[in-house]
Amino acid sequence: MPIGPVVFIDTAGLDDTGDLGELRIKKTLEVMDKTDIALMVFSPSNLDFTLEQNWWRELAARKIPIIGVVNKIDEEDVDMGDFEKEFDFPFIKVSAKERTNIGKLKEMIHLNAPMDFELSALVGDIINPKSLVVLVTPQDIQAPKNRLILPQVQSIRDILDHNSLALVTKDTELRDMLCSLNKKPDLVITDSQVFHIVSEIVPEDVPLTSFSIIMSRYKGELGTLIKGAGAIDELKPGDRVLIAEACTHHPLENDIGRQKLPSLLESKAGGKLKIEIKAGADFPEDLTPYKLILHCGACMFNRKQMMTRIIRAVEQKVPITNYGMAFAHVQGILERTTRMFEPRNSNVFPRYNKQKRHSERSEES
């Protein structure tokens, strides 16, 4: 099937009862949040569609395409009209036992899958073949021993796949590397935590961004996250802030999500904030109590999972941004670190800059 790697998840269902049943239903709904396409399986002997109607509503609310699959046609002939008049999505009848129409089912998945949901490249679409890209990868206590973190590895692979040159260095050797080159890099990608160092070293006319910002475009919606960063200026002591991490990990000293960013936000707000940390699939349904959601780069999520969270935040009118944009915004370089992605976000910065100027005038007064 020419749509790339596929993961099939068999859900627990929505009709369980009791305390354990409620947990199973919760897990099923969480699976929907990372689903790109759903196969809803029917039995020809059961024409009570109450449960399936519930499934349809939940999937439609998440804008997930559905294929209806009527199984066991080796045991009983089926009138597809009974199904098609109840549901507004395509159907196919199969026999899993006899493997009847399995090839046609694969074709339907290919035709209905959201083929353009993932971007084709991390940075390959903004560089040319033979471009020189410098990647700044600090190796502090938070860096995994003997390896690079996933966004760094993915960026290197993407650069190589687009026939460009990847040079990797630490922030402490960045100045030496730039001096050793016979031309300026075409792009510099850095860890967001050292923006304050790297932005001073890299010339203004050299495009500069971060791994976190790259991932925000690849996994989410760049314009929405840029606008969300402006809410940092509106934070006041006592406001609730949600910090959401895609993965569960053991936090180390000076952890970015638990120490560095909370300290940065509280310094900007001028006092203590009520900061809550949620990791993995733990993400609140009701986001309205929060003044801001600060999300990691979501390298461990697929885009569907991240977009589900962004859509939920937008619907509940809660600003959402990510780690890299928070660092860039506070340091006044957010426009610089995202400008290379125009014109996609060219309509964002007039509003962003207007909000920023208004906040700066308020602080001055």
| pLDDT 10s digits, 15-41 | 666 777 777 777 777 788 778 899 999
Last residue of a domain, one of 54, 77, 112: 112
Q: Is-contact 108 90, C-beta < 8 A?
A: yes
208/226 same-domain check:
no
Cis peptide before 284 (omega within 30 of 0): no
196/266 same-domain check:
no
Q: Which two tokens stand for residue 61?
A: 């609310």
230/344 same-domain check:
yes
Whether 300 is covered by a domain: the verdict is yes
Per residue in 86-115, pLDDT tens?
999 999 999 999 989 988 888 888 778 776
Whether 124 is covered by a domain: the verdict is no
Which pLDDT belongs to residue 55?
87
Per residue in 122-173, pLDDT tens?
999 999 999 999 999 988 656 667 788 889 999 999 999 999 999 999 999 9
Strands of the sheet containing 320-322, edge to edge, are 274-279, 240-245, 292-295, 320-322
What does the DSSP assignment read for 55-68? HHHHHHHTT--EEE
What whole-number distance in Å separates Cα of residue 215 and Cα of residue 246?
12
Q: Percentage of the chain surpassing pLDDT 70?
A: 86
Which pLDDT belongs to residue 134?
98
H or E segment and range at residue 41: strand 38-42
Neighbouring-strand partners of residue 169: 136
Residue with tokens 């760049």: 222
243/311 same-domain check:
yes
CATH code for position 315: 3.40.50.11410
CA distance from start to end of the chain: 62
Kindly tell me if the per-residue pLDDT of 266 is higher than 80: yes
With H, G, I as helix, E, B as strand and everything else as coil, classify residue 6: coil
Q: Is-contact 36 114, C-beta < 8 A?
A: yes
Whether 79 is covered by a domain: the verdict is yes
Last residue of a domain, one of 49, 80, 112: 112
Kindly tell me if the per-residue pLDDT of 322 is higher than 60: yes
Residue with tokens 């002997």: 45
44/79 same-domain check:
yes
Q: Which two tokens stand for residue 241?
A: 């802030």
Q: Is-contact 313 284, C-beta < 8 A?
A: no
325/190 same-domain check:
no
Please report which confidence band the pLDDT of residue 306 belongs to, taking 50, 70 and 90 as the band edges: confident
CATH code for position 94: 3.40.50.300
Whether 6 is covered by a domain: the verdict is no
254/354 same-domain check:
yes
What whole-number distance in Å separates Cα of residue 28 and Cα of residue 82?
27
Does the predicted model carry a pTM greater than 0.85? no
148/275 same-domain check:
no
Last residue of a domain, one of 165, 184, 212: 212
Whether 1 is covered by a domain: the verdict is no
Kindly tell me if the per-residue pLDDT of 359 is higher than 50: no
Whether 289 is covered by a domain: the verdict is yes
Which pLDDT belongs to residue 365?
43
231/316 same-domain check:
yes
224/352 same-domain check:
yes
Q: Which two tokens stand for residue 75?
A: 């045991």
H or E segment and range at residue 241: strand 240-245
329/352 same-domain check:
yes
Whether 276 is covered by a domain: the verdict is yes
Whether 63 is covered by a domain: the verdict is yes
CATH code for position 195: 3.40.50.11420
Name the average pLDDT for the chain. Answer: 85
Q: Which residues lie closer than 8 Å to 65 by C-beta, 6 or more apart?
A: 36, 37, 38, 89, 112, 113, 114
Q: Which residue range is the domain that position 285 belongs to?
A: 220-364
Per residue in 40-74, pLDDT tens?
999 888 888 888 898 898 888 888 899 999 999 98
The number of domains in the chain is 3
224/360 same-domain check:
yes
